[in-house]
Structure 1
Amino acid sequence: MPARLSHPAFAALLIALAAQLLFSINLARPSKPVFDEVHYVPAARTLLTLERPANIEHPLLGKELIAAGMAVFGDNPIGWRAASTLAGTATVTGIFAILMLLFGSVRTASYGAAFAVLGNTLYIHARIAMLEPFLAAFVVGGVAALLWAMRSPPDRVTRRWVLGAVLLGLATAVKWTAAPYIAFASLAFVAIRARRHDLWPGLAAAKGVILLGVISVAAYAVTFLPAFFYAQDAMTPGGLIPFQFEMYARQTQVLSPHPYQSGWMTWPLELRPIWYLYEPVDGAVRGILYVGNPAIMWGGLIAVGWLAWRWWTTRDARAGAIALLWIASLAIWAVIPKSLGFYYYYYLSGIWLCVALPAAFHLRAHGERDSAMFWFGCIALGLFAYFYPILSAAALPSDQAFNHWMWFDSWR
């Protein structure tokens, strides 16, 4: 590999540019709101005018970012989705950074970024005005920043740790499901710091936990600033905390059954994907099926299992941390008091599989070049191409064309 291409920053830049290009192609297709865009686009539109509260079951940041895209590109499909493409690219780059920091291999990091793009779900969410793309971008970025601080010079550890805290706080300001990652990070930091004093040099355990908590809460709170300027029902300092309880009440209300609902235990096997779109629009029948790339979603489960086994037999901390990250990301949904679950809630867990896969290949080959990861990547690329028409809302030949991709009855 040429020296320039093997430089981490240059490789990351190329990957980011390629991802951004892919996510931006035909971004305005379809020209109508898709799936939950019917909730978040109007909420962002209302936020732009500072008219009144809207979509108050979630914090503001995700809708603020959608509104920012609309402010730049207009109230149109590109404006609705532009910020999501940037979030998708940031997520891909964050996966690259995490793997680079853990394994020091541009090849391994590049495959992880590629798997994230080819996993189907990130591609779909990088092209839709929902909250998930921003949630993932901030969580992945936060994890990368905390790892960056881990082996930094003593004079840079604290500022990089603070960056991680800010990003995790902003993730929580998109959706509350990011909050457990702050707790995970605190527990992992204390456990690792107790055994390895050379990591995060100069950052004591108590100071690190306090900074993580205080900075993340402050970052979260700042995102509510626009609500203080609503023309109707403006937020007040005394109303900020009661508003959190109102959000909680709305998020935990009992909802009517939904045809696409599914339980968290079924998500790893992707038994119930979701049709975000399937109807005539823009002159043709078009569909968007929210389904993961089977090679990555199912192969990733094997990788997680292998990493857990490797940690158990060799005490490889990297293997154990990655396996636990995926397990914890799914366990969140076992305790969250929501009456309905949907496969897209698994979005972040699916992204962690894109860390687990190259990590498993890397450790299996002891860091040496191994053709197994290449051939696995070819399979993933082939499946991405196979599903592409119903990921990208391409024109389909008939209203029954969806049958071509229905591997199981539960996918219909």
Structure 2
Amino acid sequence: MQRIYLDHAAATPVDKEVVELVARVSTSAWANPSSIHAQGLRAAKYIKDARERVAQFLSCQSEEVIFTASGTEANNLALFGLTRAHKKEGKRILISALEHESVRACAGRLAKEGFIVETVPVNKSGELSVSEVEKRLTKSTIMVSLMAVNNEIGTVLPIAEIGKMLLKNNKERHTHGLPRILFHTDACQAAALFPLNVNTLHVDALTLNGSKIYGPKGVGALYLRRGTKIEPLVYGGGQEQGMQSGTENTPGIAGFGLAIECAEKICEKEFDRLNHLRAVCIKRLSVAFPKIQINGSATSYAPHILNITLNGLDAEAAVVYLSGKGIDVASGSACVQKSAKQSPTLKAIGLSAGEMKSTLRVSFGRTTTTDNITKFVTTLKSISSFIRL
């Protein structure tokens, strides 16, 4: 049985070219990249090339790219590293109600350290307005952290517009001697399909994750604007400009660089293809389930994520039954499912506890076809009558 994978928002399959590169680097460049002998320099060259590939994608300088062990680690470095380095300037932080658990958990920890964390609300479509952010800025605000694309409902946040607003605010704050507000975005779900130019986004820090761009797991990256003060989380040999001590994962980093280069080449075409598949899926689901509820924005959305509520359906049981029939979907984000907590995102857009239990996330990718969509819808319809809450 050939499986149908519809959970790309949790993790993407690794691109064949990336697999081949990771295997090649693992056997030919296994030396410590900090060593100055030939084998060490060979490994260091792979890391240098990957850093330049990421920098090209982000339109930044290569020295502004810090490799980490995951997107979560990059978010931790941004949240903890930036706020702790600037705590004398202010202790107020803004995050959105849609943030990934890694940002939410960091914010919770920072609150225990004495920082004031405020959550910016979203509307019932998960949309966040620039004005809702701006009106919450105070003299003591030092950081705003907002995700680019929500991993559960797919709503796209107006990062560039908020960046412009903060840029204007920071100019005014400078004239009054107030601290500059740092802007971080978790762009893990955006990188495979959206252009991410840090200069047009006006961000100081940006998070990427290899497992969301058809790259290897266990590697991520943080863009950090040159000259931005930050404290490291890991101390030791001073790798990654002192920000991420520990021997680098050369094969993973090399694969990450190639994955992001490959994604950049096809992102526009793939965006349109997935947008069509998403529309087909909605149309067919609407025929099969006339009372279906589509969660998330109808206008500002990522084409690879579709979040649906089918009232009365036991979503977790549906995931298990569908998996048994060769179709992999999710009943929420992988992090939330593992913790067995209610989804903060679904709660933020107004879903009841009962509706959350009847909610599925379907996420498309490079391997998804129209036939896959047809089989998913027909199979879900066939099991929906007996998988009830």
TM-score normalised by L of structure 2:
0.30
TM-score normalised by L of structure 1:
0.29
Question: Structure with the greater relative contact order (CA < 8 A, sep ≥ 6): 1 or 2?
Answer: 2
Instruction: Identify, as 1 or 2, the structure richer in helix.
Output: 1
